[in-house]
Amino acid sequence: MSIEAGSNLRQLPAVDEVLRNDQVVALLETNPRVLVVESIRETLDEIRARVIRQSDPGALDRQDLLDEAVQRTEARVRQKARPVLRRVLNASGVVLHTNLGRSVLSESAREAVEQVASNYCNLELNLDTGKRGTRYSLVEDLLVRLTGAESALVVNNNAGAVLLALGTLAKGRSVIVSRGQLVEIGGSFRIPDVMEQSGAKLVEVGTTNKTYLRDYRQALTDDTALLLQVHTSNYRIVGFTHETSVRELAGLGSETGLPVMSDLGSGFLIDLSPFGLPYEPTVQEIVADGADVVTFSGDKLLGGPQAGIIVGRKEIVDRMKKNPLTRALRVDKLTLAALQATLREYLEPEQALQSIPTLRMLTLDSAVIEEKATLLAGFIRAEAGDELQVSLEGGASQVGGGAMPTADPRTVLVALQPRGLGVDELATRLRDTDPALVGRVHDLKVLLDPRTLRDDEYHLVARVLKQACTEVRD
């Protein structure tokens, strides 16, 4: 250490000195003291290390060092105070973006959560009789009504629903599945692994691209407990292909007395093909085709909270309700409130298409998308036109959430070319703004898809863009 560095170190403020600074005193009003003190210590350590490292620091001014310590402490405290889940402006055009929390809840679902979160509720009390009730009954009634199934059960997520169904129906016995359906969903959900965890034995039949009813029939033994169909949510096998339908499997099921299960993954209640999306059977259709158990997610195309929904024959669902695993997988009151409100929307399908954000975004009319893009571009030009070149270009959005992987709903993108910095640098900075902004980077442009942004978010998008472009970094 040089002599100069040594004398500079003596100019470094003490923790108490920083703590007495007005700006830091203000921080103490909204932040726990331990975090502020810790931040000061870390900041001073950092500055001290730098002073020691510098070979020729020159004489440092005491006031400058104090100012620097205060500024950096403030930034550090702000960093520590950030909530674990921060708001993100989703301009990726991926409607069910798993990394961004999948579905945004409808207004009625948000209100229901707010009610239940702030007050006591009748979670397990029947208010008519004053006796203990079940937490699920109203939601189950709605599911039965909407899907035409005999009975329903709700658990924590669809992975849990599949695990519970397999463990209840096939523990220690065999389950027949097509080789074309041994899917892996993001986050390490793999059908063979879930099967193993449930204690059921996987019997693969057919080939990757073609599986016929006769393949299932040939694999039947006394050990067979279940015929399983898994929706190939996030991939498609195209070309020379054949899969056996639920209806065919149900035929084999009634012939042999074996139950048929369909894990739909996304699962939805309204056919979206009139809006240009691929045709896929709804939950109601799969139930009508004869599936004995159907499982699907609450927060994929349904557009509700994270949940695993099981509908099917009463005798089978009753067995699942008695499985101790059901208690371990149970949903909390907030989820239940949000799910009931979401399902209620489906009683008026036309309205559901508007009031459930996931459905509204997926079914936006192309003229509306174009208007949205023009409006968004206007906001950005007005706020950050000096920093960004703004143009419109055609493109495609994505359904996401491992649903409809081949669908490419047409959209109009707002393309941004920063004048003063690189696109990757801009994208990085946009993840650090508050709220963060997530778009796509392509061809030296940042692309924003208005499909997944609300109109009332445009001014925020423009503001964080301006901030990211003009912010000075050290």
The number of helix segments (H) and strand segments (E) in the chain equals 20, 17
Question: Which residues lie closer than 8 Å to 442 by C-beta, 6 or more apart?
Answer: none
Q: 230 and 179 in contact (C-beta within 8 Å)?
A: no
Stretch that binds ligand PLP, among 136-144, 226-234, 417-425, 448-456 (CB under 6 A): 226-234
Q: Per-residue x/- mask for ligand PLP, residues 390 to 429, rule CB under 6 A? A: ------------x---------------------------
Q: In the bound complex, what is the minimum distance in angstroms from residue 298's beta carbon to ligand PLP?
A: 7
Q: In the bound complex, what is the minimum distance in angstroms from residue 169's beta carbon to ligand PLP?
A: 16
Q: Is 263 in the site for ligand PLP (CB under 6 A)?
A: yes
Q: Is 265 in the site for ligand PLP (CB under 6 A)?
A: yes
Near ligand PLP in 159-218, by CB under 6 A: 159, 162, 183, 185, 189
Q: Given the DSSP bridges, would you call strands 174-178 and 224-230 parallel, antiparallel or unpaired?
A: parallel
Q: Per-residue x/- mask for ligand PLP, residues 7 to 26, rule CB under 6 A? A: --------------------
Question: Which residues lie closer than 8 Å to 421 by C-beta, 6 or more apart?
Answer: 429, 469
Query: φ and ψ at 237, to 5 degrees?
Result: -100, 120
Q: 89 and 286 in contact (C-beta within 8 Å)?
A: no
Q: What angle do CA 418, 432, 457 make, to 5 degrees?
A: 75
Q: Per-residue x/- mask for ligand PLP, residues 146 to 165, rule CB under 6 A? A: -----------xxx--x---
Q: Is 445 in the site for ligand PLP (CB under 6 A)?
A: no
Question: Two tokens at 262?
Answer: 């369909």
Nearer to ligand PLP, 147 or 297 (CB): 297
Q: Is 358 in the site for ligand PLP (CB under 6 A)?
A: no
Find the binder of ligand PLP among 231, 344, 360, 429 (CB under 6 A). 231
Task: Give the separation between CA 393 and CA 414, rounded to whole angstroms.
Answer: 7
Near ligand PLP in 294-333, by CB under 6 A: 297, 308
Stretch that binds ligand PLP, among 262-270, 355-363, 390-398, 431-439 (CB under 6 A): 262-270
Phi-psi domain of 188 (left: phi exceeds 0; alpha: psi -120 through 50; beta: other): left
Beta bridge partners of 445: 442
Q: Given the DSSP bridges, would you call strands 260-265 and 293-297 parallel, antiparallel or unpaired?
A: parallel
Q: Is 233 in the site for ligand PLP (CB under 6 A)?
A: yes
Closest CA to 453 of 19, 100, 24: 100
Stretch that binds ligand PLP, among 230-238, 324-332, 365-373, 425-433 (CB under 6 A): 230-238
Residue 315 class from Cβ within 10 Å (0-12 exposed, 13-18 middle, 19+ buried)? exposed
Q: Is 97 in the site for ligand PLP (CB under 6 A)?
A: no
Nearer to ligand PLP, 183 or 341 (CB): 183
Sites of contact with ligand PLP (CB under 6 A): 157-159, 162, 183, 185, 189, 230-231, 233, 263, 265-266, 297, 308, 402
